[in-house]
A and B are shown apart, each in its own frame.
Chain A
Amino acid sequence: MRQYRLIPRRSEERRARYRSALFLAPSVIGVLVFFVIPFCVVIFYSFVDNPINKEFVGFENFVRLLKNAAFKKAAMNTLSFSGTAVPLSVILSLMLAMVLESKIPGKSKFRTFFLSPMMVPVASIVLIWQVIFHFNGALNDWLSVFGVEKIDWLKSNYSQYVIVMLFLWKNLGYNMILFMAALSSIPRDQLEAAQIDGASKATVFWRIKLRYLSPTLLFVTIFSLINSFKVFRETYLLTGDYPYETLYLLQHFMNNTFMSLDYQKLSSAAMIMFVFMVIIIGALFFVESKFGRDVEE
């Protein structure tokens, strides 16, 4: 065999990998500058007495925040809202998806209709909600036909239900699409095999369909939860800075705290939310990996 000079070179794969890492650079730098680094500052702020003195105070800020009446109320309201809205939105959107997947005529039209609220800016639709839910509004007008007393929908304990409705109106379509995709990706042969094996419809649903839906269920739950924090938009546009007390949400609390620029309060509130979210996401991932492991692609 002829001898050739061997030129040592860095391996081609590693070089390609470095080069493709360059593609990540703009995004990663941006995320670092605008989210990660300032979040480290937030963590720092949440453990010191104030931004000038910078004396470490342990968990004092958190303790103070958890004792803060406004925060407690906002957190409770947000939790109770999410606790109602998220399960409802998961169940209802799954129902919608199953109806549309059950061979009804005009499926694509219905899909368009159910999806349309997602595209309508909240600000555009708020007027109509006001007309409907105002004390002198259309809903009370209709109900009066049945002799129902006038209710001040937005300024009473009913207000949360109204917001839940608006939330469902806007978000069901999105979740429905996710469920439709999941339903249609269940292997046909599995369902057919179960049918031939004599499984009842209920068994097929609980034992087969739900297994295949579990990753989507996880995702829809997380996404609904996050979107439920965004319902501030509807609440704010509908009722302004100072809503009825059951509508006082965490975002209202944050807004007010921004007004007074209390960094400690802001930072510790953001931290608490962050930890809370991480726990929820982690728990859902954990549950899903236990439950949906066998069916993933």
Chain B
Amino acid sequence: MSAPTLAARAAGKKRRAVIKIALLTIWAAVFSVIFLLPTILTITNSFMSPGEIASNYGAIFAKGEAGGKVFISERVNLKFIPDMVTLRQYITVLFKSPEYLFKFWNSVILVAPIVLFQVGIAAVASYGFSRYRTKTRNLLFFAYIVLMLMPYQVTLVPNYLVSQFLKTLNTRWAIILPGIFSPFAVFILTKAMRRVPKSIIEAARLDGASEWRVFTRICLPECKSAIYSVIILVFIDYWNMVEQVLILMNVPEKQPLSVFLSKINAGEISLAFAVATIYMIPAILLFLHGEDYLVEGITYSGRLKG
């Protein structure tokens, strides 16, 4: 009996491989749609007129918030493409109701100092952690990891006590100060700085650089991309903050948009999509510009040991 030749078997295998790749690609494409859809819908809906929003989603928001008085339609109508593209929502948000811009500004003045100082202080500290790896420092670094892994349910109570002690409760400092000293950036930057070859640092010392110069002139530039990726990661985390605000700064007029957006009331629901889109913009821009850095940062974060 003549078995199928090796060549025939190889051909069959090749065909199966092609089919497999095709199926996997389709599978990935379907997943992509699921992943992208909510974001895209939010953006496209922001270009609808208030009337269209009201008629599409009135059933949901009007009922929930206004006690069922304004009843437009029993059904929702989730649409991808507006009947008529209009910038009216944006004009209203940007020029006519400054409230949202204030809240956006609230977000900025909370997040900007946290990102700036957390990364700055972390960069300095990570040099200290990576320059010499003594037993004490390794232990300290491990403590940072444990602290980094603690959920808000643990860290918010100490934060609250400090804020109470410093009398910063319900001021922005209550959020900014603990944010600045959060160990996440230290963790990632230490990982990055440990990868700078020791001989480069030694060469710089022999070239006459002081410890501080070695840090600013050699290590910081060597870790440029890691720093950028940490900036992205820290920004995302705080741009999205909710828990801290509710507990440490429960003052409506100081709230950032990340909390306030969910409280937009029924009357202004038409604006909500535009505001939501505006709030996404900084994050999306950062993402599109720095995706590779973001990926690098995530990869760094994945090395818990070593």
Contacts and interface: CB of A to CB of B under 8 A. Distances in A.
B261 A137 contact: no
B125 A27 contact: yes
21 contacts: A20-B127, A26-B125, A30-B181, A41-B161, A104-B24, A110-B32, A111-B295, A116-B39, A119-B287, A120-B284, A122-B240, A127-B42, A127-B276, A128-B38, A131-B78, A134-B64, A136-B63, A177-B298, A233-B242, A273-B154, A281-B146
B259 A123 contact: yes
A152 interface: no
Contact of B155 (A35, A118, A131): A35
Interface stretch (A1-9, A56-64, A190-198, A211-219): A211-219
Contacts of A237: 242, 259, 261-262
Contacts of A127: 42, 45, 261, 272-273, 276
A267 B161 CA distance: 10
Contacts, number: 283
B60 interface: yes
A132 B77 CA distance: 10
Nearest to A98: B24
Nearest to A239: B262
B305 interface: yes
Given A105-B21, A177-B295, 17 more contacts: A16-B131, A20-B127, A24-B140, A27-B125, A30-B121, A109-B32, A113-B36, A123-B258, A123-B276, A128-B42, A132-B78, A136-B60, A138-B78, A173-B35, A215-B304, A232-B152, A233-B243
B159 A277 contact: no
A199 interface: no
Given A112-B291, A274-B154, A178 B261 contact: no
B67 interface: no
A215 B78 contact: no
A191 B261 CA distance: 50
B158 A41 contact: yes
Interface residues of A, number: 97
A237 B263 CA distance: 8
B296 to A, nearest CB: 9
Contacts of A167: none
A110 B144 contact: no
**Which 8 residue pairs across A and B have the least CB separation, nearest first?**
A30-B181, A23-B128, A38-B158, A27-B125, A24-B128, A229-B151, A123-B261, A124-B276
Given A42-B161, A181-B302, A169 B128 contact: no
B129 A24 contact: yes
Interface residues of B, number: 99
Interface of B: 20-21, 24-25, 27-29, 31-32, 34-36, 38-39, 41-42, 45, 57, 59-61, 63-64, 74-76, 78, 121-122, 124-125, 127-129, 131-132, 134, 137, 140, 144, 146-147, 149-162, 165, 177-178, 180-181, 183, 186, 211, 215, 236, 239-240, 242-243, 246-247, 257-262, 272-273, 276-277, 279-280, 283-284, 286-287, 291, 294-295, 298-299, 301-306
A137 B25 contact: no
B73 to A, nearest CB: 9
A96 B34 CA distance: 13
Contact of B27 (A99, A130, A136): A99
Question: Main SS of the interface on chain A?
Answer: helix
B262 A123 contact: yes
A226 interface: yes
Contact of B284 (A119, A182, A273): A119
B153 A270 contact: yes
Most central of B35, B61, B279 by chain A CB within 10 Å: B35
Contacts of A122: 240, 242, 258
A102 interface: yes
Contact of B262 (A37, A126, A277): A126
